Structures are given as C-alpha cells and as structure tokens.
Chain A
Amino acid sequence: MIHLPVIPAAKDRDFQLPENPPTEDYHEILDELERDGEIIVQRVPEPYIEVKTKFGRIKKIPVEKTWHHKSCGQCGHIPGYSTSIFWLNRQLGLDYMDPKDQTSCTAWNYYASATSNPEAQAAVAIRNFATAYETGYYPLIHCGTSFGHYKEVRQALIHYPELRDKVRKIMAKLGKKLVIPEEIVHYSEWVYAMRDRIKERQVVDMSQITATVHPACHYHKLIEEDAIYTPEIYGAQRTAIITGVLQELGINVADYSTWFDCCGFGFRHILVSRDFSRSFSVQRKIEVMMEEANPDITVTHDTGCVTTLDQSQFAAKAHGKKVGLPVLSDSQIAALAMGAHPYKVLQMHWHNTDNTRFLAKLGLDPDEKWREFEASVARLQDGSKQYLTWEDVE
C-alpha cells in the first residue's frame, strides 16, 4: 500500500516566502550595469520603508521626495483618484513633485494597437525616469499599466545590450542619461507602506463596511517579481496591497471566487469593442462579488480596473443584472478615512455607479456634501475665483 502524504487544508498551511528566490535579482543586475558605466541607477531616497516581494526579496518604498508619474486615464476620467494621492501626501506633510515634464507611458496604446515598438516604449520610459532623476525626486507610478510596462522595459533593458545602446543614443539626442530606478514603485505600494500613518489619522469609522478587492493584472501578473506579499495577508498566496490597507482601516475584506480574474478592460476593447469589457466585468467580477460577498464597495488600484468595473454597470442594469456596486481606488478610501471631502477631493461625481448609500453608511450625508461642492463650484461660475486650490479643500 502506498501512503500518500496528508496535505493540510489551504487555510491551515503555513506558507513561507522562499529563501532562495527562483528568479534572477534585478537589483544585482542593475548594480552590475551601473558599475560597468552602462546606466545610472536612481536610488530610493531615505527615509524608505522595507517590504517583501513575491519571492521574499526586500523592496524599498520611498516615503517622500516622490515624483508623481501620473496616469492619463486617472487624470482624464477619474481625477479624484490622483487628487486623493496628492491629498494624502499633503496631509501627511510629505514633500512631493507633480511634474509637467512627464508624458504618459503610452502603454495603453501599445497594448491596444501595437503601433509602437520596444525601442520607442523604452525611450518614453527612460525619458520620464531621466527627467525625474534630474529633479532629485523619485518616480512613484500612479497607473498599474505604467507600472507593469515599466517592469517589462526594465527587463528588456537589462537583457538586451542592443536595446540599451539604442536608448542611450536617443537619450543623448535629448540631452538625457539612461537612468533606471532602483525599484519601480506603484503608488498603491506607497499607500500600503504608509497604512499605519494613515490609520493614525483616521477620523471616519469604517468597521461596518464590507469590501471586495480587485488587484490589477499588470500589478501582480505581468512580471510578478516586484509585487508585495506578506504571510499576514492571504498567507502570502496573493498580493497584500489594497487588502492590507483596508484591513488596517477596520474594513471587512470579503473573498470571492473570481479574485484572480482580469477586470475585462482589454485596452482596445474598452475603447472600440466594449461589449466584451462590459460582459466580462459584470459577469465575472461584479455579479460574482455581489452574489458571494454582498459588499458595500469594491476597491482596486488601477485606472483601467476602476473604469471598467464602474462604467460597465450602467448598461448591465438595463439588462436586469445584479449590479450597483460602487468602485473606488485604495487612495480614495484612505483619503476618505482621513476625512477628505467625497466630492472636493475624491471627486466621486466622476464615477458612475451610485455611491450615496456607501457614504450614508459611513455617516456622511451625500446631499450635504454635494451642496458644499456646488457652493465651491458656484464661486468659479460667478468669477470670484478661477480655480479651486488645495487651501479650498484642506
């Protein structure tokens, strides 16, 4: 008789991050390339917070002196997303830069249309990195796709000397150096690393809230190496970002069976073939979340995910689908917990799915908050002010 080992149930297993990571260490390769005079490595400025990534390596997350690499989808269509990231920095008294000499990573277009190539994509990335380096501020990437794509660019640059040569020549024409940051850092990693400081300043009780989490594919699947994992969250079997923040804020994070699935964004699909995006996001994500977890909110950390999960629900409602789940980013939830205004800072009126019940459950009066926002806007309309500033919302 063969005795097979008895494997404990997943919930009882003590999963350890591997002592010997199965992949090469990009830090070592970057250091080597720098020693050889091939590249400049921009170091994470102090103070930084150390976290662990998928294969147990240490990643440094900068606390401040961050150069905010904005997201075109966030800034263009859900601007409370980026505004909340800046608001958190300001409230925590941290030094940051919101640059005008930044371009989009152009990866949304690349993944949608392929009307580009590795040289162009790497040059766009390095132009942004070199620009950040010149200021002394460290790139903090707002978009999950920019984050994923820049990891791809880093991988290509460290493996293909001919690509480095081409990009170096292009940068020389622009008067810039070939700079690669020591770590490619996504803003949600910064929110995760800062979660205890955010908790210290929490003024809105969130303990009655149940949330589901959707992690962005380009964060944890595309070059999985850099994503944050910890045994305390999902036993290090899934990435810890978003969930770690929500739990710190007292939110009940509920699980659902399609956690690993994509949101349905599809890059070209969301723009020119939206029947796919709508169907996938509603049938594989929103409906499953509602049926299995009945959450008050779903929280994600990327441009495309917020857009697809939120906007797709309108048409699905007409088809009698079980929808009506508000969608916010972790930066918006963190800001809300610290007392940010739902319309002046979170800009929730740019979101589609009704979120007034969620606000009411937090003890916030959505009508009153909207009146406050409209009063501010009236000052812009009557010409007494041209813009609202941070002083108007802090």
Chain B
Amino acid sequence: MANTESKSSLIVPGDATASCWSCGTMRATHFCSACGKVQPPVPVDYFSFFGFPRKLNLDAALLEKEFYALSRRLHPDVFVQSATQERSWSLEQSSLLNDAYRTLKDPIKRTEYLLRLEGVELEEQSKQATEKARATGELKKQVVPPDLLEEVFELNMHLEELRAQKKMGEDDPALLEEIGKAKLSLEEKNGALFSELKSEWKEWDAAVDSGSEDERKTIRDKMLDVVNRRNYIRNLLRDVNEAIES
C-alpha cells in the first residue's frame, strides 16, 4: 500500500512558549533557552519542530544542518548521567526529530504531510467522494483522471501477458517493446508531474504569506490532484520494473 503513514502520526501545533520545567524561564521546543535542559516534547507539527514556516520550498541544507545539530545534542550518550525523566524526554525528542527530518526531507512526503496538516485525509478521499455521490445520486468524480486510468489498465493488461509468457518461457519482442515505450512515457509523466508540483509549491508558499483561505484551498487541492496521479504512476512503474526483471 502506498500510504503507510497513518493519520495518528500527525502532531498538531501546540503551545511552545510554556516555561521550562527546571528553571521556570521561557523554554524553546527542544532545550530551554535559559538553562539548556532538555524539554518534554510539545505537540508541534514537523515544520514548527524545526522552526520553519509551513512552506514547501524548503532549504534542504538548512534542514540537514539543524537535524545534525539537534541529533548531536539529543544523542543518548549526552544523557547517560541524567535523571531518568530527562533521558526519556531526550529519547522522545530524538525519535520525533528523526520522523520530522525524514518526512520533510522527501519532497513528496513533505507535500503529503502538509496536505494532511491542511485537513486532507489522503486515505479517505475515495470513501468521502463515494458517500457524496451516493447521497446526491450523481456520478462520483473519480479522484484519478479517466485517461490515466485507461492507460493504467491497458499497461496492466500488457504486463499480465508478459508474465504469462515468461512463465511459458516464451518471449515476444513486440510486447516488450510496447511495455518499454509505456515505461518511458510513464517516466516522462512522472517528471512532468514533479515539475508541476514544484511550481505549485511556489504558489502555495506565496499564499501562506499573503493569500486568502480560499486561495490556499484551491492550491491545496491542485497539489492533491498531482500527488494522486503521481501515486498511480509510481505504483505502475514499480510493477513494470518487477515484470521486466522477473
């Protein structure tokens, strides 16, 4: 299955301005800014965890720098002498750190995470659309565009044929060529979708600064559309490669 990350991994923004448990002054997200003690993790989203705005064009070098700096400070070795409580907080903080880093580093995961933060239930889209169609008696709007479905279906038929042939020890150069062509076209599409997504990131980031809620929603939905199509293509490419190599 494509989306293994569950909704429950989503951390909602919380109050990061509470006071430090140790010295009582204002604390930061990870360590107290006054006394330097590790803090219990506060419920923040991954962007806030790194002190980033909720934007998609992200400075990868900065993210990496922050990640390594925090990893070092949260490393278990640093806490061998500390109280049990602090040790467990540092562990929690560092697992959060790893999740946040892995999610934000990957452009697609980052986009999907943001979509979730913005209220999209990636795993529920189909069901919601079906319920709506049922209630209104209208035809359901397919989340995936029909022409892409058609292509996916055709290619799957070819792949099935290829697998059957391989089992019989036959091979059909024409079929392989057909599949090879389809693979190229899928890779092209994949690339094109990624560029499309990147240009939407720009729009999104601009809208975070100065857009209305409606504008943000529109861009959000456009990004969702691209992510959905890309999932299809990615799964298909995986199947194509498996079938060719098997």
Q: Do A and B come from one complex?
A: no
